[in-house]
Amino acid sequence: MAMQRNKANEVNISWTLFVQLTHWLVAALVITNFFNDTAFWHRMIGYACLVLVLLRVFLWLVCEQSQLIPVL
């Protein structure tokens, strides 16, 4: 998320496209996991969620702190 101040000194928080995609992908994977009955796919979906969350944290630490990512 990127924070910007407008003329009234209010903070506008806008999500980048990557944040939106990871948010909805993790949500979709969690919902998919509810309907899954095999241990293998449960584990794979869990690993996919973990990778998405770690990528999001990495992007926040590296890029967003230096404002390298354009905001929608």
| Digit-coded pLDDT (tens) for 16-49 | 788 889 999 999 999 999 998 899 999 999 999 9
The answer to whether the CB of 66 falls within 8 A of the CB of 11 is no
The answer to whether the CB of 4 falls within 8 A of the CB of 11 is yes
Q: Rounded CA gap, 58 and 71, in Å? A: 17
- Phi-psi category of 12—alpha, beta or left, where left has phi over 0 and alpha has psi -120 to 50? beta
- C-alpha pair distances (Å), 67 with each of 30, 39, 46: 30, 41, 30
Instruction: For the chain, give every domain's residue range.
Output: 16-66
Long-range own/partner contacts, residues 29-38 (CB < 8 A, 24 or more apart): none
User: So what's the pLDDT on residue 18?
Assistant: 81
